[in-house]
A and B are shown apart, each in its own frame.
Chain A
Amino acid sequence: MKIKNIVILFVALALGLSASLYVFLQNGSAEKITRISSTHSQHPVSVDSTKCIAKKEFMHANHMQVLREWQQAPVTAGDRIYIAPNGSKFMKSLDTCLGCHKNNRLFCFNCHVYANVKPTCWNCHLSPSETP
């Protein structure tokens, strides 16, 4: 009888602890996009195109979502700096990507032509084939 009671007591303790600490679970996740607004005149970030912001496979599948967020956050919220999970900072700008990817003039077009996708980016922005 006594052992049974002790077991129940420990189970209750564990349940109670996990319930009370559940709220902090979110803080442990590392792969969240950190958003920090910077004032325009104090901390400028130059465009860094020396490395990719994420893995190739991730960008293959999600570049549209990344670009959509990068299109909106800097303009409306003044949220210009993207901090990658490994801590490196990037300017949320199409120029960050094109700074390196424009070296291949068909970079965007190869896939978009194959997939018959017609994004409207190049109505205003300069595409890799147009940049000198």
Chain B
Amino acid sequence: MMNEERRTFIKKTGLGVLACLGAASGLMTLIPETSLEKTVLPAWDEVTLPGNIRLGMLIDTRKCKKDCHLCITACHHAHNVPDFSHSKDKVTWIEKSTYKKVFPTASHQLQNKEITERSYLSLCNHCAESPCTRVCPTGATFQRWDGIVAIDYHRCIGCRVCMAACPYGSISFNWQDPRTAIHEPTTAYPTREQGVVEKCNFCSDRLVKNQLPACVEACPENVMTFGDLNDPRSDIRILLESNETVQRKPELGTKPSLFYII
């Protein structure tokens, strides 16, 4: 009697478990997977994967006028870059230098005088294989999804290892409080504080507003072309294909995203 009761009980619970497993699996297949995901507006879900975009710049040095500094003033004004008179405190995001300084490893022997006397813009190369991001101990200097090498000033501890790693000298250190040397401050971008490094950010702050970098916009001669190097139909790629270009210190393998037409 007792045994039989137990037997029926086990039988029935077994059947019950099977029934609910069946019901659950039926429910799982009935509900489409998409309905369980969070709703996203179609316009917002285009997440850019790293490596799909590589922003770069092409500088046509033939068009660049020697006495014109419009790009430099526009950039430094847009980003509250301090203007220290002493060269040791100097902070720059973009500057003009000589051929020898910008291309120190290129051949200078019997070089055309016109080329050596021209001035060349130098700014952060936003290298694809950037040494500065590899050495940064806090991850403050990092490579973004669109190829821009950016600095998170909140994270920077001012160790200056990135400055030592950068083969182009594109990074500056704030030895003094930069706020004392900003003559025309803009409210559109924050300043930095004493003890952090800073450099060109390819105007990532302006790109989110659908604006071109400040230097590109300020140039009256259209010296600079800005665009995605991974997109074969972009203006920069078309110009790269139709012109002979050079990079700075290409032998180092940093793969700079800045190209020059000499």
Binding site for B on A (CB under 8 A): 1, 5, 8-10, 12-13, 15-17, 20-21, 24, 27, 32, 34, 36-44, 46, 71-72, 75-76, 78, 80-81, 120, 123-126, 131-132
Name which residue of chain A comes closest to B22, CB basis.
Answer: A16
Stretch from B4-12, B113-121, B124-132 forming part of the interface with A: B4-12
Q: Are A78 and B145 also in contact (CB < 8 A) when A1-B5, A8-B13, A9-B12 are?
A: yes
B207 proximity list for chain A (CB < 8 A): 40-41
A39 proximity list for chain B (CB < 8 A): 46-48, 53, 146
A124 proximity list for chain B (CB < 8 A): 153, 190-193
In contact, A8 and B12 (Cβ under 8 angstroms)? yes
Task: Quote the shortest CB–CB distance from A123 to chain B (angstroms).
Answer: 4
Binding site for A on B (CB under 8 A): 5, 8-9, 12-13, 15-17, 19-21, 23-24, 27-28, 36, 38, 40, 43-48, 53, 142, 144-146, 150, 152-154, 187, 190-193, 204, 207-210
Task: Quote the shortest CB–CB distance from B93 to chain A (angstroms).
Answer: 16
Q: Are A126 and B190 also in contact (CB < 8 A) when A17-B23, A27-B36 are?
A: yes
B190 proximity list for chain A (CB < 8 A): 124-126
Q: Are A40 and B47 also in contact (CB < 8 A) when A12-B17, A27-B36 are?
A: no
Question: What are 13 A-to-B residue pairs whose CB atoms are below 8 Å?
Answer: A8-B9, A16-B21, A20-B21, A21-B24, A27-B36, A36-B40, A36-B45, A43-B46, A44-B208, A75-B152, A78-B145, A124-B190, A126-B190
Q: Are A132 and B13 also in contact (CB < 8 A) when A20-B21, A43-B44 are?
A: no
In contact, B204 and A36 (Cβ under 8 angstroms)? no
Name which residue of chain A comes closest to B40, CB basis.
Answer: A36
B12 proximity list for chain A (CB < 8 A): 5, 8-9
In contact, A44 and B209 (Cβ under 8 angstroms)? yes
Known A-B contacts: A9-B13, A44-B208, A120-B193. Give 7 more (CB < 8 A).
Answer: A8-B13, A13-B20, A16-B21, A41-B210, A44-B209, A124-B190, A124-B191
In Å, the complex CA distance between A71 and B8 comes to 64
In Å, the complex CA distance between A131 and B191 comes to 13
